[in-house]
Amino acid sequence: MLIYLAAALMLACEPVEPVVTFEEGTFEGFDVISYVPDEPIGLVFFFHGSGGSAGFATRIETLDVINLLIQRGYGFIATESTQRTSPRRWRVNDPSLSDNDDLARLVRLHDHVVRSSPVTAQTPLFGVGMSNGARMVSLFGQSFSDAGYPIAAIVSVMGTVATPVRQAGGLTVPTLFIIAENDTVVPNAQILRDRDQTMANGVTTALLTKDEELLVDWRFTRIPSINADDALAIIEAAVMTGAWNSEGIRQVPVSSAQLLLRESRLPASVSGDVNEVLAQFGNILAVHQFSALYREQIADFFDGQNALFPMALTP
């Protein structure tokens, strides 16, 4: 674990930008962001949380994970939920690949990718989902696997397993669960029960916990438009709220720190990146926020299951 964290911290202060040019377009009127190499070892589907879009793939933390997966030889694809009015959520209560609008479109999207790219019908499939997207990735993974698609593994980030999957006996797909120390949006206890149910099914599982961090400047220099001076100004503004001291240690309850941040005066120079700045504060506080801190473990988990997957297909 310390090796992983040391490697992550060595790269942390570098601006996070795409390592390749992504393809941006639409499929059946819904936004799609993707990249497929000439010889993909797998295709990873990314699922946004409530209120999100295909742009989830371009957020700093998600992008950091995607960059590593691309460097390992994976392609990826991100689209958006059919529901495009608030709260813009995936439909997670119906496991049918024909009746569930989201799943049915994912089937057609996969077929389209197979017809139009180096991805084949046998290319192992993976999934990463956050919050409502975590429930969707569990539904996607299990429903597609039950239908015979080559689902190799999924990553469920700060979200529970979809109710139809749990009621049917739980996941039979290798799953990496990620929770956050101070998450109050999704109960960690239920996620742990889902992990236990998955383990009881004899399926490979793993669990990671995103812990709280000190208030440090490298969190903000990950954003390409924010330089070292901007990062220090952000920290100064946060310390002036009283939520952190000058050593970067939180001084008030997490909920109070979040409230004080909303009322703080961030530097005008970062006004165009407020959402990304707040996402980095979410990582610092270890609340309900996607994190790339364990990107190496995510890639290793996929690699491990990918190596075993052809054996699972052997009669």
Quote helix, strand, coil % in the chain, to nearest 5.
45, 15, 40
Percentage above 90 pLDDT, the chain: 89
254, pLDDT greater than 70: yes
**pLDDT tens digit string along 76-89?**
999 999 999 999 99
Question: Which pLDDT score, from 0 to 100, does residue 308 have?
Answer: 85
What is the rounded CA–CA span in Å between residue 267 and residue 64?
25
SS3 273: helix
When the pLDDT of each residue in the chain is averaged and rounded to a whole number, the result is 94
Q: Which of 23-32, 241-250, 258-267 has the lowest mean pLDDT?
A: 258-267
Q: Among candidates 59, 52, 79, 55, which has minimal Cα distance to 283? A: 59
At residue 75, φ and ψ (nearest 5 deg) are: -100, 165
Percentage above 70 pLDDT, the chain: 94
Report, as an integer, the average pLDDT of 28-55: 98
Q: How confident is the model at residue 314 (pLDDT cuts 50, 70, 90)?
A: very low
Report, as an integer, the average pLDDT of 128-135: 98
Residue 222 exposed, middle or buried by CB count within 10 Å (0-12, 13-18, 19+): buried
**pLDDT tens digit string along 214-234?**
999 999 999 999 999 999 999
**pLDDT tens digit string along 263-301?**
888 888 898 999 999 999 999 999 999 999 999 999 999
Q: Do the beta carbons of residue 31 and residue 80 sit within 8 Å?
A: yes
Q: What is the DSSP letter of 244?
A: B
Residue 91 structure tokens: 């439909």
When comparing pLDDT for 13 and 174, which is higher? Answer: 174
Q: How confident is the model at residue 11 (pLDDT cuts 50, 70, 90)?
A: low
Question: Which pLDDT score, from 0 to 100, does residue 3 have?
Answer: 43
260, pLDDT greater than 50: yes
Q: How confident is the model at residue 309 (pLDDT cuts 50, 70, 90)?
A: confident
184, pLDDT greater than 80: yes
Question: Which pLDDT score, from 0 to 100, does residue 12 have?
Answer: 61
